[in-house]
Amino acid sequence: MERGFWYYVNISYTILCLLLTVVIYLVGYLKNKAGYTKPHFLVFLFASLLPFMGIVLILFTFGAWNIDYSALIMPISLLIISYGILKYDFLEIRTLARETIFENNFAGMVVLGPGKRIIDYNKAAETFFKAIHISLNHYPLEHLLAREPKLLEIFESEDSRDFSLMIEGEERFFEIDVVPLGDPQDSNTRMLKSIRDVTEERKIQEKLKLLATTDSLSGLYNRAEFMNLAKKEFARAKRNHEDLSLLIMDLDNFKTINDTFGHAAGDEVIREMGSILLTSFRKTHIAGRIGGEEFAVVLKNASLEEAKEAAEKCRETVSRKKVIYEGQEIAFSVSIGLAAIHGNADVNDIEDILKMADDALYKAKAKGRNCVAT
């Protein structure tokens, strides 16, 4: 049978398709793309070469028998393809599942190739970069983040990092994790960067920390946190030979307030006392509620005289203050005991200075209350 013009058009098209297939699998094998292993590509490369060899035999074999070698070889090629599909789960549903998870993940995901060039990204990543006015494309990171050197350094790092950004006037916190896609030793290995917004988690953590360390009624540190901070400050003052003063305060006749006006009124007095302490002392000082109606303040770098002056001002502020509860005026006062250490004085433990201040408080009570004693 004579081979006509359209025969050669058909055979040329078939050869071109097969050559393209072989090239694609060969490039995939050489680059070892993320998500597939080299055996994947070898199986399909070999299966694609067989029909190509059949067509070559047809073109260069002349004789009485017009045999379609590609048709004879095709079943073998199909068997090899079937083996590859079954052996390596090439068309397994989990591939589709992984793509769906990648695309719809709440975390922003960016796949980086050689040269830190962006290969792929999901919707969440696009939203993240859009929020910081960066349009994602397939340029290298250096190009995309040229105006954000801090962010560029974070994204180029191969370690997991925490960072924060101002977005629409609000500080938001993020975690970025790194997963190598392939051999970590290979310089051409792709990397998956996962960006997770942890702002709400941070807020919850801060709330939990606040609940664990703060007295809800007064707004001051609770006893456990106050003692923890006081011990640290005491140790620092001893180590650096610095002044440190401690005030212990007790609301006068607080039981009478509770009995006369009720416990809710007593709670209002506690709240007011907490507010007074927060405004009467520096933010660097440590104020806490250490008992029912008992409070304490650590004054850093304050001598005995300086602490006495601060305590007297606080006492006067309290004595002038009145709480209005259900239309009734409630006056209250406070007795204050004061102790201090200077440099490396012979006070070895926070409990020692606490006892000194507590003894001074008893003196203030004995004097008739509403006074400061040392």
Catalytically active residues, by annotation: 293
The string of DSSP codes covering 259-305 is HHH-HHHHHHHHHHHHHHHHHHS-TTSEEEE-SSSEEEEEEET--HH
For residue 181, what is the enclosing H or E element? strand 170-181
**CA–CA gap between residue 246 and residue 311 (Å, rounded):** 10
DSSP label of 145: T
**CA–CA gap between residue 364 and residue 241 (Å, rounded):** 29
**CA–CA gap between residue 43 and residue 84 (Å, rounded):** 6
Residue 21, classed as helix, strand or coil, is: helix
Alpha-helix runs per DSSP H in the chain: 5-31, 38-60, 69-88, 93-104, 123-131, 141-144, 149-156, 199-213, 223-240, 254-261, 263-280, 304-320, 350-366
**Category of 222 on φ-ψ map: left (φ > 0), alpha (ψ -120 to 50) or beta:** beta
Q: At what angle do helices 38-60 and 69-88 cross, to 10 degrees?
A: 180
Using CA atoms of 359, 362, 367, 368 in order, give the dihedral in degrees to the nearest 10: 160
**CA–CA gap between residue 294 and residue 307 (Å, rounded):** 18
**Tokens coding 171:** 């500080």
